[in-house]
Amino acid sequence: MGACNGWLQDLSLKIAARYACNGQLNKQKYDQNMDQLLNDFSIGLFIMQTVILLVLIFLIVKFAWKPILNSLNEREEGIENALEEAEKARLEMKNLQADNEKALQEARAERDTMIKEAREIRAKMIAEAEEDAKAQANKIIKQAQEAIEAEKRTAVAELKSQVAELSLEIAEKVVKDELSDKKKQMQYVDKMLQDATLN
Partner 1 sequence: MKIARLSVKFLVVLTVLFSLNSAFAQEHAVAASNDEGPVNTNQEINDYIQHHIKDSHDFHLYSYTDAAGERHHVGFPLPVILWASNGPVAFMSSAFHHDVNGEVVVEAGGSRFVNLHDKIYELENGADELVMGADGHHPENASKPLDFSISKSVFGILIIGLLMLFWFSSLARQYKKKNIPTGFGRVLEPLVIYVRDEIAKPNIGDKYRKFTGYLLTVFFFIWISNLLGLTPFGFNITGQIAVTAALAIFTLIIYTFSGTKDYWMHMLWMPGVPVLIRPVLAIIELAGAFLIKPFSLLVRLFANISAGHIVVMSLIAIMITLKGELTPFGSTTLSFILSLFITLIEVLVAFLQAYIFTMLSALFIGMAVADHVHDEHLHDAQGHDIEDTEASRREFI
Residues that bind partner 1 (CB under 8 A): 11, 14-15, 18, 22, 25, 29, 32-33, 35-37, 39-50, 52-53, 55-57, 59-61, 63-69, 71-72, 75, 78
17 or 159: whose CB is closer to partner 1?
Answer: 17
74 or 101: whose CB is closer to partner 1?
Answer: 74
Give the shortest CB-39-to-partner 1 separation in angstroms: 8
Give the shortest CB-43-to-partner 1 separation in angstroms: 6
Q: How far apart are CA 161 and CA 154, in angstroms?
A: 10
39 or 167: whose CB is closer to partner 1?
Answer: 39
Nearest to 69 by CA among 180, 77, 136: 77
Give the shortest CB-59-to-partner 1 separation in angstroms: 6
Residues near 179 by Cβ (< 8 Å), separated by ≥ 6?
185, 188
58-to-65, 78, 118 alpha-carbon distances in Å: 10, 29, 87
Give the shortest CB-85-to-partner 1 separation in angstroms: 17
14 or 191: whose CB is closer to partner 1?
Answer: 14
Give the shortest CB-100-to-partner 1 separation in angstroms: 37
171-to-62, 156, 162, 176, 179 alpha-carbon distances in Å: 158, 21, 14, 8, 11
Q: How far apart are CA 36 and CA 27, in angstroms?
A: 14
47 or 144: whose CB is closer to partner 1?
Answer: 47
